[in-house]
Amino acid sequence: MIVIQRQSFVRKYISKIVNLVSTGILASLLMVPGVKAITIEYAVQDQGGGAWQYSYYLSGTTFNQYQGFQIYFDYNIYSDIDAFPVAPNADWSPITINPDIGLSLNGVYDAIALAGNPSLADPFVVSFNWSGVGQPSAQDFSLYACDDDFCSTGITFGQTGTTVARSNGGGSNPDPNPIPVPEPFMPMLIALGLFGMFVVRRRG
């Protein structure tokens, strides 16, 4: 039931938010309260036959309960995302939404914190199919906060950024100089804050 309700939430917002983020229209958003600037590193492994696996490593931040993050999968080059991703530990609940090329809808890996200050010691792992050139690389992500674990009545999107190749810990594409995600640019924050207020009022 939890997975179904959360998938319904993701589908509700994904067509608007994901495509804005993916096309660069929302380069930066209001910081989610309690979440500091974050770095999401990735390692990627070739599993053969077009199947790959990402391992995501989060650092530079803490999360409050019911805050989380989403990582986006371009519908042109990703497919068959693992429908039942394994949680890195008991503090997190991950789900996925597969890309839909017919609807021009990107896929999502979504993980929400079930407790305050959840452990980030373990990687977030997800498998998928890849049809792009070379090997899978960086992806866009965003942070969010919900009112509860179902995100039933509201969501606030926060910092956005791009994953960076992991400098240690394996994978087939280590990067010796990972780049932290910068703090949001203030004028953009103000403008997008007004946009968020407009959306909330429309929903009200």
- pLDDT, one tens digit for every residue, the chain (204 residues): 444 455 555 554 444 344 434 433 333 333 445 556 789 999 999 999 999 999 999 998 899 999 999 999 999 999 999 999 999 999 999 999 999 999 999 999 999 999 999 999 999 999 999 999 999 999 999 999 988 767 776 677 777 899 999 875 444 443 333 333 334 433 443 344 433 443 334 444
What's the confidence (pLDDT) of residue 94?
A: 97
What's the confidence (pLDDT) of residue 86?
A: 96
pLDDT single digits (tens) 135-190: 999 999 999 998 876 777 667 777 789 999 987 544 444 333 333 333 443 344 33
What's the confidence (pLDDT) of residue 26?
A: 37
Q: How many domains does the chain have?
A: 1
What's the confidence (pLDDT) of residue 193?
A: 45
Q: How many distinct helices (H) and strands (E) make up the chain?
A: 2, 10
Tally of residues, the chain: 204
Q: What is the largest CA-CA distance in the chain?
A: 49
CA 116 – CA 65 distance, rounded (Å):
4
What's the confidence (pLDDT) of residue 6?
A: 55
What's the confidence (pLDDT) of residue 7?
A: 53
* Enclosing domain of residue 56: 2-203
Please list the residues that pair with 162 across neighbouring strands. 140
CA 88 – CA 50 distance, rounded (Å):
24
**Upper half-sphere CA count for residue 132 (Cβ side, 13 Å):** 16
Q: What is the pTM of this model?
A: 0.70
